[in-house]
Amino acid sequence: MRVLLFDANVLIDYFDAEPTVFASIRRSVGEIYVVSCILQEVEQLDALQAVELGLQVFEPDLELMNSAATSRGRLSFRDRLCLAVARSEGMTCVTNDTALRTHCTENSVEVLWGLELILLAVEAGGLLASEAREIGETICQLNPFIGEDVLARFLAKLR
């Protein structure tokens, strides 16, 4: 089982599309964490709701906060913190943010796309392909940054 660290964009996509997907992923792929200050930027979800959905809220220590605050580059503070936590704790970063994904790869942090994680849940028996298809289509309808080409590749992999 993996230890997954969700970025805000995937958290929002999953919550808006189908909140029960978190339980399916927890059962079939691994534990889900979200950094407390990243959760704060998700208007749809508060800490209590996150815990009720089975998410674990990670409180970074001062060292991780300082590391993220003093780092340079084009990532936001929250993205730098997400990277620092994933690297420090050996977590897989789940994000659709291209810049964060690049930095994760450069820092030897395993990274997954949001839809890629849904495919893993199907492979592990945590979701039916029909459920995954519906969730993927809903995410693509709600998120204008995930295009039809991404959905087409996702659906092709589901078959």
User: For residue 49, what are its two tokens?
Assistant: 């709701």
Kindly report the backbone phi and psi dihedral angles of residue 40, in degrees, each rounded to the nearest multiple of 5, phi listed first: -60, -25
Mean pLDDT of 23-30: 97
Confidence of residue 72 (pLDDT cuts 50, 70, 90): confident
SS3 state of residue 153: helix
User: Could you report the per-residue pLDDT of 104-142, keeping only the tens digit for each?
Assistant: 999 999 999 999 999 999 999 999 999 999 999 999 999
**pTM, full prediction:** 0.94
pLDDT of 5 over the 90 cut: yes
Mean pLDDT of 24-34: 97
DSSP string, 86-144: HHHHTPEEE---HHHHHHHHHTT--EE-HHHHHHHHHHTTSS-HHHHHHHHHHHHHH-T
Calculate what percentage of the chain has a pLDDT beyond 70: 100
Q: Could you state, in order of their start, the residue ranges of all structural domains in the chain?
A: 2-158
Distances 38 to 34, 35, 61 between C-alpha atoms, Å: 7, 5, 14
CATH of the domain spanning 2-158: 3.40.50.1010
Report which of 80, 93, 87 is spatially closest to residue 108, judged by C-alpha positions.
Answer: 87
Mean pLDDT of 63-82: 90
Task: Give kind and range of the element (H or E) at residue 78.
Answer: helix 77-89
